[in-house]
Structure 1
Amino acid sequence: MYALIWRAIPGPWPVKLLVALALVAGAAAGLWYYVFPAIDPYMPFNDGAVETQGGP
């Protein structure tokens, strides 16, 4: 799959490298700013590990 993407990018290898890095950065930014905030309410990471019922 990566070889297919590499062959699909036009230009010599330095240009291909820059475009590939831009694609990776774009995918990471898309995940960071759109996907992760959208799924955050459904993830259990913010739940407390210790729950107390009443006082001491």
Structure 2
Amino acid sequence: MYTWIWRTLPGPVVVRLVLALVLLLAVLALLMTVVFPAVGPLLPFNDVSVVGQ
């Protein structure tokens, strides 16, 4: 998959590196703003129970 992305990106190596970095940052931004907030309430990390003696 990564080789397909690398072969699909246009330009010389420097341009490909910049485009790959922009693509990576766009995916991270999408994850942080859309995916993680949508899935956060479904995760059990907020169900903390402490059993006292």
Q: With structure 1 as the length reference, what TM-score do the two structures score?
A: 0.84
Query: In the alignment, which residue of structure 1 is the partner of 2:33?
Result: 33
Unaligned runs of 5+ in 1: none
Large movers: runs of 4+ above 4 Å: none
Query: In the alignment, which residue of structure 2 is the partner of 1:45?
Result: 45
Unaligned runs of 5+ in 2: none
The share of aligned pairs that are identical, in percent, is: 47
Q: With structure 2 as the length reference, what TM-score do the two structures score?
A: 0.88
Query: In the alignment, which residue of structure 1 is the partner of 2:18?
Result: 18
For residue 26 of structure 1, report the CA deviation from its aligned partner: 0.5
Structure with the largest fraction of helix: 2
For residue 50 of structure 1, report the CA deviation from its aligned partner: 1.2
